[in-house]
Amino acid sequence: MMNYYIVKEQVFQSLDKDQITFSKKNREGEQRLIATTEQVNDRIRRFNNIDTCSNYTYTTHQNWVGDGTGVSVEEIETSTYIKEIDN
């Protein structure tokens, strides 16, 4: 089962990257929006499903994309997290 979270960058660094399918840093680089099969207890926010996760980014777009849009469900589903090129 996929889980959707916002976590602090320090927490993200401690997670099993092989279980992460999507990751996006917020504009300040202090938090990450992630999709993972891992259960994360040390989190800022947990979303019940991919739709509520995506909707949250549209209502808080200034933190995530800054252009009045958000992170779409399609982007979360089709983007692939590649730990080797994570920056």
- The domain locations on the chain are 3-82
Say yes or no to pLDDT of 77 above 60: yes
pLDDT digits (tens, 9 = 90+) for 16-27: 999 999 999 999
Closest C-alpha among 44, 41, 45, 49 to residue 3: 49
Rounded distance between C-alpha atoms, residue 26 and residue 9, angstroms: 10
- What integer pLDDT is reported at residue 18 of this predicted model? 95
Helix (H) / strand (E) containing 55: helix 50-59
